[in-house]
Each structure stands twice: as structure tokens, then as C-alpha cells.
Amino acid sequence: MYTNTSCTLYLASQNYSKVTIPHCYLTHRKIAITARTGLEYSENAFCMIKGNSSLSFTEGKDFLIEGPCDFVFDNTDGKKQSESIKALKALGAFTVMMADRKEYGSQKMRHWELSCK
């Protein structure tokens, strides 16, 4: 798999502990759908992560940041968690809206596809 960057994941299933992915493919893009109210953007980034079958995603609650990130998520109470989410978004974090595990082919072909907003 072609890789172009690294990324950092903050997963709700792991109490937002940091997971560093050293090699991934990340592209920024805008996919729009037309609704009655006008254009709505459904995706801002697409990321593919090789292997890593041990990851567990909670769609709509997990975050992805391009590159290494030293941010420490404070999960002590609801207020601190809300402040940490705002701080992550201010750093440019994407929300993982869809995580799809591709289990076909050889071990080298198996990967995650993440659709982010």
C-alpha cells in the first residue's frame, strides 16, 4: 500500500488514549451531496491504514490528526472531555464518520478505510 504520511488516532473505545500510526495514506477531499437545502459535505478526508486488525472504532466519536501529535486527552469528567474534544478540533482533528475493515486478499492487502469529516 502506498503511504504518504503518519497519523494519530484518539479512539473512544480506548478512553481516547493516543494511537500513533506511523504509515498511512491520507488525502484531503470534499465529497458533496445535493440535498433540499443545498450542498452538504459528507467527507473532508479519506485515510487508509494498513493491517492493524486490533483497532476498534466508534463511528462519530473517534478522532484522527495528520502526523504525530503530543496532545493528551483529559478524560476525567464530562467537562474535561468536552474541552479536550474542542482542543482536538482546534488542532485540526477530523471526526471518523465511517471505519470499514477490508479483509480480502493476502495479508498485505488487508487495511482499514476511514471516512472523516
pTM reported for the whole predicted model: 0.85
For position 105, what pLDDT does the model report?
82
Q: Which of 29-43, 66-80, 87-101 comes out lowest in average pLDDT? A: 29-43
For position 106, what pLDDT does the model report?
83
Total domains in the chain come to: 1
- H or E segment and range at residue 17: strand 17-35
Range of the domain at 64: 5-116
Beta strands 62-66 and 5-11 are antiparallel
Asked if the model's pLDDT at residue 10 lies above 70, the reply is yes
Cell of 18: 493516543
